[in-house]
């Protein structure tokens, strides 16, 4: 089976950004591109061997409809018929870089924080040889503070989405630091699962009143949003203890983890602003209109992905999970032939 992996955003360590000519994709990375400490490399993500047979693999991609429960409602879902897809059956089929086990985001729209935090944890493994479980919800809490400030500064013209970008985790760490999961879970009153809809409803109702009354006092609005979050998520501690020593979130990131927040770079591949420049990633989740995204041609973008992974680096990725080739329940994602064949994917197809 041949699969294609295309995502809109990559976040990775600048040390892993070794670009190789697209004409020679088999060239080994230079010694300078290797991590300081050897770690297992990730298996190539874009291809898997197909079984021999007279029928082309592409012809086996089939579409199907199925009934599923989504957020308590019965839905008819269009997807690939994954029963026809050859794939690895165990995680042991891959060589992977050190990482902590994935967590479920439950009933929230905060995949960006779960994914971005996991990326930071894997980077700590690469650099330090260990990683604590970091607080996903502290990143969410910090992000809502920034969204609230931006909402007031733009007089309610900016969005207040639940989503964000994976690189927002590192961006907010620069200001707010981080803390271990043990210090802040974002769960209160004996809860064991995250469900943010009630909190979101209350925050949006309050901000609507702010806009209607033109009450643009940033300190007051931020204080009210914090009060709402404290009700549903709990208040993050100003200080916490780790291994007998007390830290603030900033001290923990700087002194205990020694995480180099300035050494990470985000890449996209689009035609709406010039290649080899930085610009705005035009998606709703880039609510702050960040213009720090480096734009590369698709072939170079993809080689950057492969080169970093082969050299033992992990990557943070943002992709579309609404396509029929996303098989969340199957733990697999492909671009099926009935969508677009791999050989037809180019920069123009990427734009569509």
261 backbone φψ class: left, alpha, beta (φ>0; ψ -120 to 50): alpha
Considering the domain boundaries, does residue 18 fall inside one?
yes
Considering the domain boundaries, does residue 300 fall inside one?
yes
Considering the domain boundaries, does residue 180 fall inside one?
yes
Considering the domain boundaries, does residue 341 fall inside one?
no
DSSP calls for 244-280: TEEE-HHHIIIIII---GGGEEEEE--SSS-TTSEE-
Please state the pTM of the whole predicted model: 0.82
Q: What residues make up the domain containing 248?
A: 9-48+87-319
Q: How many domains does the chain have?
A: 1
Provide φ and ψ at 231, rounded to 5°: -65, -40
CA–CA gap between residue 73 and residue 117 (Å, rounded): 30
Considering the domain boundaries, does residue 242 fall inside one?
yes
Q: What is the pLDDT of residue 169?
A: 98
Considering the domain boundaries, does residue 224 fall inside one?
yes
Considering the domain boundaries, does residue 348 fall inside one?
no
Q: What is the pLDDT of residue 5?
A: 34
Considering the domain boundaries, does residue 73 fall inside one?
no
CB atoms within 10 A of CB 299: 15
CA–CA gap between residue 111 and residue 163 (Å, rounded): 7
Q: What is the pLDDT of residue 66?
A: 84
Q: What is the pLDDT of residue 28?
A: 37
Strands 264-268, 9-13: pairing is antiparallel
Q: What is the pLDDT of residue 27?
A: 37
Q: What is the pLDDT of residue 59?
A: 52
**Which CATH number goes with the domain that contains 43?**
3.90.70.10
> Which residues of the chain are modeled with pLDDT < 70?
1-10, 14-60
């Amino acid at each position: 089976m041949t699969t294609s992996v295309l995502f809109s955003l990559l976040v990775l360590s600048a040390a892993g950004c070794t670009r190789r000519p697209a004409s020679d994709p088999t060239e080994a990375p230079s010694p300078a591109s290797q991590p300081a400490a050897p770690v297992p490399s990730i298996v190539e993500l874009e291809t898997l061997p197909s079984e021999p047979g007279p029928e082309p693999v592409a012809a086996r991609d089939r579409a199907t409809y199925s009934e599923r429960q989504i957020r308590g409602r019965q839905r008819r879902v269009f997807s690939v018929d994954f029963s026809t897809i050859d794939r690895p059956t165990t995680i042991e089929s891959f060589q992977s870089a050190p990482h902590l086990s994935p967590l479920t985001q439950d009933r929230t729209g905060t995949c960006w924080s779960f994914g971005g935090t996991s990326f930071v944890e894997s980077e700590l493994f690469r650099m330090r040889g260990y990683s604590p479980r970091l607080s996903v919800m502290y990143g969410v809490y910090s992000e809502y503070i920034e969204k609230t400030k931006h909402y007031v500064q733009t007089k309610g013209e900016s969005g207040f989405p639940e989503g964000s970008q994976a690189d927002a985790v590192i961006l907010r760490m620069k200001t707010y630091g981080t803390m271990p999961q043990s210090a802040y879970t974002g769960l209160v009153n004996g809860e064991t699962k995250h469900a943010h809809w009630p909190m979101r409803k209350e925050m949006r109702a309050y901000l609507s009143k702010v806009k209607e009354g033109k009450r643009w006092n940033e300190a007051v609005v931020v204080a009210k949003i914090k009060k709402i979050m404290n009700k549903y998520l709990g208040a993050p501690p100003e200080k916490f203890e780790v291994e007998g020593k007390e830290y603030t979130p900033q001290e923990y990131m700087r002194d205990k983890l020694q995480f180099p927040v300035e050494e990470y770079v985000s890449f996209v591949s689009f035609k709406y602003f010039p290649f080899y420049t930085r610009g705005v990633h035009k998606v709703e989740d880039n609510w702050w209109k960040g213009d720090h995204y480096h734009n590369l041609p698709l072939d170079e973008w993809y080689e950057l992905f492969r080169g970093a992974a082969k050299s033992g680096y992990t990557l943070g990725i943002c992709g579309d999970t609404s396509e029929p080739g996303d098989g969340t329940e199957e733990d697999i994602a492909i671009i099926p032939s009935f969508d677009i064949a791999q050989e037809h994917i180019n920069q123009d197809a990427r734009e569509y």
